[in-house]
Structure 1
Amino acid sequence: MLAALALGVKDLVGSTGFSGEMLLGLIAAGYAGTDFIEGFMEKVPLPGAGAGAVAGPGSTGSGVAVLPDQSGNGAAAKVAAQMEANLASQLNAQTSQLQADIASLKSTAAAGSPETSWALLTGPSAASLTPDLVARLFVPATPRANIRTHLPNVLAGLRSCDLIDRDMLLMALATIRAETEGFVPIDEFVSPYNTDQVAFDKYEPGTSTAVKLGNIEPGDGARFKGRGFIQLTGRDNYTRIGSQIGVDLVGNPTLANDSILAGRILAQFLANNEDPIRIALADGNLKVARRLVNGGSHGFDRFKDAYDKGLRLIPEGVEI
Structure 2
Amino acid sequence: MQSNVLQQGDSGSDVSELQHALVEHHFSPGAIDGMYGQGTVAAVIAFQKSEGLLPDGVAGPRTLCALGLVSSDALPSAIPAVTVEIVSRMFPITPIRNVNANLPPLLSALVKHQVADKPMVLMALSTVRAEVECFEPIGEGQSRYNTSPSGHPFDLYDNRKDLGNLGAPDGAIFKGRGFIQLTGRLNYATYGPKLMPPVDLVADPDLACDPNIAANLLALFLADKELAIKSALLAGNMATARKLVNGGTNGLDRFEDAYQRGNALIPDSFGD
TM-score between the two structures when normalised by the length of structure 2:
0.67
What RMSD in Å do the two structures reach over aligned CA positions?
1.3
Aligned length: 187
| Distance in 1 separating the partners of 2:138 and 2:258 | 19
Q: Which amino acid aligns with 1:201?
A: D
| Distance in 1 separating the partners of 2:243 and 2:96 | 28
Q: Which amino acid aligns with 1:137?
A: M
Aligned to 2:86: 133
Aligned to 1:286: 238
After TM superposition, list the pairs within 5 Å mapping 1:1-320 onto structure 2: 128-140=81-93, 142-196=94-148, 197-205=151-159, 210-245=160-195, 246-317=198-269
| Distance in 2 separating the partners of 1:153 and 1:251 | 24
Greater length-normalized contact order (CA 8 Å, ≥ 6 residues apart): 2
| Distance in 1 separating the partners of 2:81 and 2:96 | 16
Q: Deviations over 1:55-94 (max 9, x none)?
A: xxxxxxxxxxxxxxxxxxxxxxxxxxxxxxxxxxxxxxxx
The residue matched to 2:193 in structure 1 has which SS? helix
The residue matched to 2:129 in structure 1 has which SS? helix
- Would you say the 8 A contact 2:140–2:176 is kept in 1? yes
Aligned to 2:56: none
| Distance in 1 separating the partners of 2:224 and 2:83 | 27
| Distance in 2 separating the partners of 1:317 and 1:304 | 19
User: 4+ runs of 1 displaced by more than 4 Å?
Assistant: none
Which is greater in Rg?
Answer: 1
TM-score between the two structures when normalised by the length of structure 1:
0.57
C-alpha deviation, 1:268, in angstroms: 0.4
| Distance in 1 separating the partners of 2:92 and 2:186 | 33
Q: Deviations over 1:168-193 (max 9, x none)?
A: 00000000000000000000011111
